[in-house]
Amino acid sequence: MAIRTVETVPYPDQKPGTSGLRKRVPVFQQPNYVANFVQSYFDCLEGGAGKLLVIGGDGRFFNQEAIQIVLKMAAANGFGRVMVGQNGYLSTPAVSHLIRKNKALGGFILSASHNPGGPHGDFGIKYNVEHGGPAPESLTDAVFARSKVIDRYKIAEAPDVDLSAIGTSQIEGMAVEIVDPVDAYAAYMETLIDFGAVRLLFASGFRMRFDAMHAITGPYAKRIFEEMLGAPSGSVINAVPSPTFNDGHPDPNLVHAKPLYDLMMSASAPDFGAASDGDGDRNLIIGRNRFVTPSDSLAILAANAHLAPGYAGGIAGVARSMPTSSAADHVAEQLGIEIHETPTGWKFFANLLDAGRVTICGEESAGTGSNHVREKDGVWAVLLWLNILAARRESVDQIVVNHWKRFGRNYYTRHDFEEVEMEAAKAVMARFEGAFGGLAGQTLGGRTVSLADNFTYHDPIDGSTSANQGLRIVFADGSRIILRMSGTGTVGATLRLYVERFVGPDGDHELETQAALADLIALADDLAGIRELTGRDAPSVIT
Ligand code: G1P
Ligand code: ZN
């Protein structure tokens, strides 16, 4: 066995986005494609010698092949030890936890989150740094620059590691530790959540359905909900990770998790329904006859977190991405705690969490998390909901309705226009922004505009500035219209339109969402020309 230096030529397209490098599987299968990208990281990381690296993925097609390459390259690049989830499995939050718990230099996550998998689906590689969260832009920029000039990489000539066998082996003096993907994570959850109370809840006849969508949370959910908390066997469905996600989209939204939604709206609904995505960082929460929007879920978790042992002392503050509804702001205001509005993407929360300024954070795109890791965490969110349900002994519906009575309701919707021509999408953005001049102070559709801008974030911790983070019109009554281009789509452009309207504690909370927002949606189309410029009559997905 030996360490080999392989000559290579750069690929021009290895720019890691908000969620790492994400491309179709055949792109990753090109010669040296994975190796170039991984070596670009190793060339930019300082102090890897002798350190620990965590590696795992969501089980999608090409997961194990990519892991074997990363393992052999880590050995050749001088790492002392790697920790890999058995069968190559680790959820994104579990990677974040293992990095923090074991003081690793960082970790590679092999996943394309909620995007479809299989030989023609998507694959992705993301690197998380020592605090457990996604690499900051300074690092991903450096990696991209490196990838454009890379001319060699180092790899150990070694046989593949048996990823199915728990235990430790060696590659060129580097220890390869295959660990159970669930053990450490489950033990950690037990310190944050009142497992005793949730056990009693299930023992009292409470029923849940958790849809793992043939993705990574299956093993976590089976162990924690069924084995540790006593949910009846069969409560967790689609629990075996599949390389193709059983030909589905592991996206817990109302399109791809429709069977769960239909069940929860039916006469045979259990008390609680939930789902998670490909890599286990997102969550969907549905009560019997009550869908909980992710923005509301964030606000409800923030308002009730003190009921769980991990947050018994109260929370320091809440952070939400700019397009996420302002429901959490109303909670922060009443609790007298900080609220922060950050750009889309989890990495912006890390500084606030590290500084102890916020405890809970979340995004409208079904991501909620806390200071326990530096990623959003689907299973954690479901556990915190269970803890709250166990403590309050109210239904999901009662908890939501009572929340609105106390804090008011933010009607909220997101319309996605997927696979739009890039030029058309840019034209829509340009037309919308073009309408902003002199808008502040004017009245539009009976509402006074208080702000129309392209959101710029000033990080209060490190002083950095992130411009161009989405176009928004904010009205004096709390309504908002937001338009931005997705940073995670892989084909053409995805336009996201977010619309919100606030109705106070005494207002009508039982309107149909799209109807409640119809005038704002029409106004958005008027100003941005979405239908006209894209030729689309309707969004691809409404959430
Ligand atoms: C989407 C979501 C965003 C999330 C990201 C990664 O990004 O909108 O909230 O952080 O996926 O999961 P987008 O495609 O909108 O750029
Ligand atoms: Zn995800």
* Per-residue pLDDT at 1: 62
Claim to verify: residue 212 and residue 192 sit in the same structural domain: yes
Task: Say yes or no: CB of residue 365 within 6 Å of ligand 1.
Answer: yes
Residue 61: pLDDT band with limits 50, 70, 90: very high
Task: Say yes or no: CB of residue 97 within 6 Å of ligand 1.
Answer: no
Claim to verify: residue 256 and residue 402 sit in the same structural domain: yes
Task: Give which of 411, 364, 410, 413 is closest to 543, Cα–Cα.
Answer: 413
Give the closest residue (by CA) to ligand 1 atom 11.
488
H-type alpha helices, 45-136: 63-76, 92-101
Claim to verify: residue 143 and residue 279 sit in the same structural domain: no
CATH of the domain at 445: 3.30.310.50
* Per-residue pLDDT at 347: 85
Ligand 2 center to residue 477 CA distance, Å? 33
Give the closest residue (by CA) to ligand 1 atom 2.
365
Which atom of ligand 1 is the closest one to the Cα of 345? 10
* Per-residue pLDDT at 19: 83
Claim to verify: residue 126 and residue 105 sit in the same structural domain: yes
Q: Which residues pair with 157 in a beta bridge?
A: 2
Distance between CA atoms of 227 and 448, rounded to whole angstroms?
A: 54
Closest ligand relative to 18 C-alpha: 1
Looking at residues 520-537, what average pLDDT do you find?
Answer: 95
Ligand 2 center to residue 277 CA distance, Å? 6
Instruction: Please write the tens of the pLDDT for every residue from 476-528.
Output: 999 999 999 998 776 789 999 999 999 999 999 999 999 999 999 999 999 99
Residue ending a domain, choose from 370, 391, 407: 407
Ligand 2 center to residue 515 CA distance, Å? 30
* Mean pLDDT, rounded, of the chain: 96
Looking at residues 35-46, what average pLDDT do you find?
Answer: 96
Show which residues are catalytic: 113
In the chain, % helix, strand, coil (3-state, to 5) comes to: 35, 25, 40
- For CA atoms 301, 345, 281, 276, the dihedral sign is positive
Distance between CA atoms of 298 and 317, rounded to whole angstroms?
A: 12
Q: Does the pLDDT of residue 383 top 80, yes or no?
A: yes
Collect all residues with Cβ–Cβ distance below 8 Å to 180 and sequence separation of at least 6.
Answer: 85, 86, 166
Claim to verify: residue 278 and residue 364 sit in the same structural domain: yes
- Tokens representing 253 are 């939204």
Claim to verify: residue 348 and residue 385 sit in the same structural domain: yes
- Tokens representing 128 are 């998380």
Claim to verify: residue 191 and residue 92 sit in the same structural domain: no
Looking at residues 236-255, what average pLDDT do you find?
Answer: 94
Claim to verify: residue 282 and residue 419 sit in the same structural domain: no
Instruction: Please write the tens of the pLDDT for every residue from 91-131.
Output: 999 999 999 999 999 999 999 999 999 999 999 999 999 99
Residue ending a domain, choose from 342, 376, 407: 407
Residue 365: pLDDT band with limits 50, 70, 90: very high
Residue 141: pLDDT band with limits 50, 70, 90: very high
Print the domain residue range for 461.
Answer: 409-542
Looking at residues 78-88, what average pLDDT do you find?
Answer: 97
Query: Considering only 146-150, 344-348, 518-522, 527-531, which range has the smallest mean pLDDT?
Result: 344-348
- The full DSSP string for 27-69 is HHTSTTHHHHHHHHHHHH-S--TT-EEEEEE---TTHHHHHHH
Residues lining ion ligand 2 (Cβ < 5 A) are 113, 277, 279, 281
Contact by Cβ (8 Å): 479, 504: no
* 306 φ, ψ (degrees, to nearest 5): -60, -15
Distance between CA atoms of 504 and 397, rounded to whole angstroms?
A: 18
For the chain, the domain total comes to 3
Claim to verify: residue 307 and residue 255 sit in the same structural domain: yes
* Per-residue pLDDT at 488: 76
Q: Does the pLDDT of residue 137 top 90, yes or no?
A: no
Q: Does the pLDDT of residue 423 top 70, yes or no?
A: yes
* Per-residue pLDDT at 18: 74
CATH of the domain at 366: 3.40.120.10
Claim to verify: residue 228 and residue 329 sit in the same structural domain: yes
137-156 burial by CB neighbour count: b if 16+ within 10 A, else e? Answer: eebbebbbebbeebeebbbb
Contact by Cβ (8 Å): 50, 80: yes
Residue ending a domain, choose from 166, 181, 196: 181
Q: Does the pLDDT of residue 161 top 90, yes or no?
A: yes
Residue 243: pLDDT band with limits 50, 70, 90: very high
Claim to verify: residue 145 and residue 196 sit in the same structural domain: no
Sheet holding 367-370, edge to edge: 338-342, 317-321, 360-363, 367-370
Claim to verify: residue 343 and residue 448 sit in the same structural domain: no
* Per-residue pLDDT at 487: 83
Collect all residues with Cβ–Cβ distance below 8 Å to 48 and sequence separation of at least 6.
Answer: 42, 77, 78, 79, 105
